Structure 1
């Protein structure tokens, strides 16, 4: 867990140690719809419903999401829910593993999604089920951290990579004011995001993400939740 000047909010990758104390997992889950998770009724019931949760933090939301999907898809459609939660922070992943009440249906691993070699672990997970894609790929409030650390091109690569392995993509992009807060906290702690000044996707970053997914990656927005208490929109793309 790396944060600067004893400020747990001054983190490079959004790896907040107390994230769920100020961003309640139950409240976010209440905003999710129950009828968008399946595109067709013709999927064999014996095939597991695979989910990738990118940036799972300590796993609080991941485990609640498993129970939620089990109610929406698992029991009604006789589908076994399997979730792989990944995060860049080893300490957070360890906490998720220790507190995992849903094993073996939910598993966690430390992984940098932007590292090509590490990403092979995700593909290996799919191969275990003889699959090429997940039914759902979720990235709740992590696009900003990819953006700040990997530039516009890096965020585009990230979205393209997830689109390539997910049938339904759930994205909760942070608005520009969150970028400004993250940069300000790092600056107070004597550090910075070196690529921040180079970003072209700026004040309209949420719109840029949507246009890229729709126009460049051929995705269609099928649902948008009411804004969270942080005024973020959870968007669903097929």
Structure 2
């Protein structure tokens, strides 16, 4: 991770090294719903059994929220929860691995989700665990960074790629004012997001994401959390 202009917030991919110093992960966990939202509706006579619940946490940073989410769900689902956390920054993954409190259930890998070669490690994890899909894929506050670096079509591709591998898709979009702040900080540091002015999804980007998931990817929103202090809502789509 390169710190530009001595500003740790001027990053291109959202890979803040001190992210959880200003974004309390425990407050995010309090907004998560109970077990019934995380689990699929059962057909009469069907049982979840003892099958582990598998999660892919995309943009996991140094793993603080990943660890808390694992504990939260393990307690509520009352079954084994397995999490693969991935992030684009190898130093954050190294830190997450070193601070991993549950290595038997939680693992980490350095992956750029939009890089097919890098994403093979996720496919390998799925094969090793005999997964056709993850029970849930979580994208907490990362859609903006995909959007700023890969344009509207890149964000749509990202959502489609993950939707194809998820029973439940959890998305926490950033509002447009966060885009403007990220653009200003990077510009002040002497760099720019070259695609910023070309984005068509702008002031109502969270609604655009919702419409795309519901209308193009045939998902239904089951739950929307109260807003965080950053005015972001965690949305669950099945």
Match of 2:196 in 1: 196
Match of 1:67 in 2: 71
Q: Secondary structure at the match of 2:181?
A: helix
Equivalence map 1:164-175=2 (5 Å): 164-175=164-175
Match of 1:124 in 2: 124
Give, in whole Å, the separation in 2 of the partners of 1:46 and 1:212.
34
Are positions 1:160 and 2:181 aligned together? Answer: no
Given the two structures, how large is their TM-score scaled by the length of structure 2? Answer: 0.96
Are positions 1:39 and 2:43 aligned together? Answer: no
With over 3 angstroms needed to count, the CA separation of the structure-2 counterparts of 1:182 and 1:70, relative to structure 1, is: same
Q: CA deviation at 1:116?
A: 0.9
* Unpaired segments ≥5 residues, structure 1: none
Q: Secondary structure at the match of 1:135?
A: strand
Q: Secondary structure at the match of 1:171?
A: strand
Match of 1:27 in 2: 27
Give, in whole Å, the separation in 2 of the partners of 1:125 and 1:27.
30
Given the two structures, how large is their TM-score scaled by the length of structure 1? Answer: 0.96
Q: Secondary structure at the match of 1:36?
A: helix
* Unpaired segments ≥5 residues, structure 2: none
Partners of 1:3 and 1:12 within 8 A in 2: no
Partners of 1:144 and 1:179 within 8 A in 2: yes
Size of the alignment, in residue pairs? 234
Q: CA deviation at 1:46?
A: 3.4
Match of 1:52 in 2: 56
Give, in whole Å, the separation in 1 of the partners of 2:150 and 2:4.
20
Q: CA deviation at 1:130?
A: 1.2
Q: CA deviation at 1:44?
A: 4.3
Give, in whole Å, the separation in 2 of the partners of 1:124 and 1:113.
14
Give, in whole Å, the separation in 2 of the partners of 1:56 and 1:44.
27
Q: CA deviation at 1:40?
A: 3.3
- String of CA shifts for 1:152-189, please: whole Å, max 9, x gaps: 00000000011000100000000000000000000100
Give, in whole Å, the separation in 2 of the partners of 1:84 and 1:120.
13
Q: CA deviation at 1:66?
A: 0.4
Give, in whole Å, the separation in 2 of the partners of 1:43 and 1:157.
34
Q: CA deviation at 1:61?
A: 0.3
Match of 1:14 in 2: 14
Q: Secondary structure at the match of 1:16?
A: coil
The worse-fitting range, judged by mean Cα deviation, of 113-122 and 41-50 is 41-50
The worse-fitting range, judged by mean Cα deviation, of 7-16 and 29-38 is 29-38
Give, in whole Å, the separation in 2 of the partners of 1:43 and 1:80.
15
